[in-house]
């Protein structure tokens, strides 16, 4: 059984790869004081960087779960999301309202992807 972990801490690893599947959890915005559009952009930029680091890309996304502090932010977040996802490569996705670990956070994402 082949499992590779990246940036493993006490509570979590930034990324885990099992066989040809990559798991990312808890990706949040770079600047927690920005609006939902900017938080979404910087969160997705982190996903891009992690995908590249472990040998994948947006076209290999399998699923995403997006957590919003408030569902009133859904449309604004989706505008950024829709521009980010490559046409024809949308993953299975869920979006839920959730209480965040920090009150400034508006959005968080967990992603499952395939290696390229």
Provide the domain limits for residue 68: 3-114
Chain segment 44-103, per-residue pLDDT in tens? 999 999 999 999 999 999 999 999 999 999 999 999 999 999 999 999 999 999 999 999
Q: In CATH, what number is assigned to the domain containing residue 51?
A: 3.30.1330.40
Closest CA to 67 of 94, 43, 92, 91: 94
Between CA 4 and CA 2 the distance in angstroms is 7
Separation of alpha carbons 110 and 46, rounded Å: 12
The pLDDT, as a whole number, for residue 104 is: 96
At 10-41, the pLDDT tens digits run 999 999 999 999 999 989 998 999 999 999 99
What is the model's pTM?
0.94
Domains contained in the chain, number: 1
């Amino acid at each position: 059984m082949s499992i590779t972990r990246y940036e493993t801490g006490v509570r979590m690893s930034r990324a885990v790869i099992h066989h040809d599947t990559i798991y990312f959890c808890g990706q949040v915005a770079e600047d927690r004081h920005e609006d939902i559009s900017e938080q979404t952009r910087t969160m997705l930029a982190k996903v891009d960087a992690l995908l590249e680091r472990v040998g994948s890309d947006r076209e290999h996304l399998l699923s995403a779960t997006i957590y919003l502090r408030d569902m009133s932010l859904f449309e604004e977040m989706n505008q950024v999301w829709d521009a980010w996802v490559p046409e024809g490569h949308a993953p299975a996705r869920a979006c839920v309202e959730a209480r965040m670990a920090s009150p400034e956070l508006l959005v968080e994402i967990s992603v499952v992807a395939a290696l390229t």
